[in-house]
Structure 1
Amino acid sequence: MNKNTCMSCGKELTGRIDKRFCDLHCKSSYHYRRSLEEEPRFYNKVDNQLKQNRRILKSYNKAGKATVRSSTLKDKGFDPHFFTHYWKNTKGDVYLFVYEYGFLKKMENQIEKYVLVQWQDYMKKGRS
């Protein structure tokens, strides 16, 4: 592109010789369009999945504890491989957490389900 035209809208530029955009809107628009063309970064993929997992767990766990078929959550976009931390209870069950919402995989009548819980203060101490 010609050095004297805006890289976003193509308007002729006035002012500094090294100017690339006519205003902040064009600069922002150019970089936004460019970011859409790039492959999403690994960090963004993980962060987006964690946010989605948290949103899904929160929506199915209104009372603090619930049991839901794993297929129901997965159909909404839940991916159990993305979690932030875990907690192990005295029975040896390992709950995986996405921030304050946890889940434990269980088989019930040959159906895979998740027991959903919310983080409690007593869990800080490790084993309860």
Structure 2
Amino acid sequence: MERACLNCNEKIEGRIDKIYCSTYCKSSYHYKIKKKKTVTRFKEVNEQLKINRSILKHFHTTGKTIMRKEELFKKGFNPNFFTNYWKNSKNDIYLFCYEYGYLSLKEANKEKYLLINWQPYMQ
């Protein structure tokens, strides 16, 4: 009976109880299994922060950009994930995904976001 490696399906030679053709295949197989299983809270949050930053970067083309919320949401933006915040003198709270920030606005009964870049005076 010919045995095949669990990772690469190559023929296994040697001991009868071997299930991998090499230590590389053994390691690779277990890495793939662990990667599939391991969805930690850290990974979920980090992935959403990356998505949010990418979306803000894509839409923010000038010093200040005003966008409809639903346009950002269609792309996968989630306002519940941010890295820091800044409160201005009017007590408006800007939420940031790294260097890209947003402020929730309501103009003509439409939900919008004002997009900005982090500035040194915001320290």
Q: CA deviation at 1:9?
A: 3.7
AA paired with 2:98? Answer: Y
User: Unpaired segments of 5 or more residues in structure 1?
Assistant: none
Across the two proteins, how many residue pairs are aligned to each other?
A: 119
- Give the secondary-structure state (helix, strand or coil) at the position aligned to 1:45: helix
- Specify the alignment match of 1:40 in structure 2: 39
- Specify the alignment match of 2:91 in structure 1: 92
| Mapped contact 1:87–1:123 kept (Cα < 8 A) | yes
How does the TM-score come out when normalised to structure 1?
0.79
1-structure distance, mates of 2:107, 2:95: 19
Q: Deviations over 1:29-66 (max 9, x none)?
A: 31343135415111111000000000000011011310
| Mapped contact 1:5–1:13 kept (Cα < 8 A) | no
Structure 1 ranges of 4+ moved more than 4 A: 4-7, 17-21
RMSD of aligned residue pairs (Cα, Å)? 2.6
How does the TM-score come out when normalised to structure 2?
0.82
User: Unpaired segments of 5 or more residues in structure 2?
Assistant: none
| Mapped contact 2:12–2:19 kept (Cα < 8 A) | no
